[in-house]
Amino acid sequence: QVQLVESGGALVQPGGSLRLSCAASGFTLDGNAIGWFRQGPGKEREAVSCIRSTGGSTFYADSVKGRFTISRDDAKNTVYLQMNSLKPDDTAVYYCAAGRTGPWYIPRFGYEYDYWGQGTQVTVSS
């Protein structure tokens, strides 16, 4: 059974940090582009950060540049999103997604991904 399972979401104060993990089972992340998306209350889903299947090149939404870092450990079949200097506007359900795309392409839209996790809640509040 193909699954992506996110973890690491929590309630954190503004300025704090969290590391989200996304573990894959039933398939290998190697060869897949990975994306982290989020949907805040009353907002549309948006791409936060994405990394191409061959690693290296990444995409970050302007709102998180310099604060978030995406990484992948294909040996552990896991992807991470390190989030620093969190703000109340970062409050959302965070989803990871995986999809097979070209080796040099960074997919940024939800429809480009094949597999999705169930999401993990991140709440930034004092």
Give the Cα separation of 41 and 4 in Å (integer).
23
Give the Cα separation of 122 and 88 in Å (integer).
10
Q: Which carries the bigger pLDDT value, residue 55 or residue 110? A: 110
Identify which of 113, 115, 116 has the alpha carbon closest to the alpha carbon of residue 101: 113
Structure-block tokens of residue 113: 């991904």
Contact residues for 42 (Cβ-Cβ < 8 A; gap 6+): none
pLDDT digits (tens, 9 = 90+) for 15-44: 999 999 999 999 999 889 999 999 999 999
Give the Cα separation of 104 and 61 in Å (integer).
19
